[in-house]
């Protein structure tokens, strides 16, 4: 007999591989956006949290969750959005940080977010590992990234912001 817990765990596993629409090398589980799956009033309730309040990927992620579970013949799905606890880049798994770096995005370097872009913070170039890098702009191509340049290899790169 399959227990309810096993079923929700199975649902969790099926959707945990859904990639982030903007950084497709990491999944919604890697990012810490997938918070919970439970069975309630006849529905599988999937709880997700946005990285930034205006994260434009939320609707797409919701659609993908419904689509993926649909392929497993599960149609009683509700996707809930929560703001608490507030998402933090501390939730990125070590594995996710490795994947980000390989993809050319510098992962957040430290876990405390009290000092943004302070001089002592070293952002390492994801291409040549140099720490002679400088900030171009706090705001990058998506809400979760800042723009840096490497003073050694001269490449411009994104930093996944500490948040």
Kindly list the residues in this chain that would bind another protein in the complex (CB under 8 A): 50, 52-56, 82-87, 113, 116-117, 136-141, 143, 147, 161, 163
DSSP 90: G
Residue 137 contact among another protein, Zn ion, none, beta carbon within 5 to 8 Å by kind:
another protein
Toward Zn ion, which CB reaches closer, 98 or 128? 128
Q: Which is nearer to another protein, 98 or 113 (CB)?
A: 113
Within 8 A by CB and 6+ apart from 138, the residues are 116, 117, 146, 161
Measured CA to CA, the distance from residue 151 to residue 132 in angstroms comes to: 5
Give min distance, CB of 4 to another protein, in A.
28
Among 111, 130, 131, 141, binds Zn ion (CB under 5 A): 130
- Distance between CA atoms of residues 122 and 109, nearest Å: 7
Pairwise CA distance, residues 121 & 96, whole Å: 21
Choose between 86 and 98: whose C-beta lies nearer to another protein.
Answer: 86
Q: Cα separation of 3 and 70, whole Å?
A: 20
Binding stretches for Zn ion (CB under 5 A):
125, 127-128, 130, 150, 152-153
């Amino acid at each position: 007999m399959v227990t309810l817990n096993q079923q929700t765990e199975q649902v969790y596993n099926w959707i945990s591989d859904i990639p982030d629409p903007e950084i497709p090398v990491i999944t919604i589980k890697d990012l810490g956006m997938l918070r919970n799956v439970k069975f309630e009033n006849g529905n599988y309730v999937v709880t997700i949290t946005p990285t930034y309040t205006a994260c434009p990927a939320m609707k797409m992620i919701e659609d993908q969750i419904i689509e993926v579970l649909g392929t497993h013949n599960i149609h009683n799905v509700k996707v809930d959005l929560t703001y608490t606890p507030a998402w933090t880049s501390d939730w990125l798994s070590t594995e996710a940080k490795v994947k980000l770096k390989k993809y050319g995005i510098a992962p957040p370097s430290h876990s405390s977010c009290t000092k943004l872009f302070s001089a002592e913070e070293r952002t390492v170039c994801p291409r040549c590992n140099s720490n002679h890098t400088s900030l171009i702009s706090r705001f990058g191509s998506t809400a979760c990234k800042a723009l840096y340049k490497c003073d050694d290899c001269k490449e411009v790169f994104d930093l996944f912001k500490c948040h």
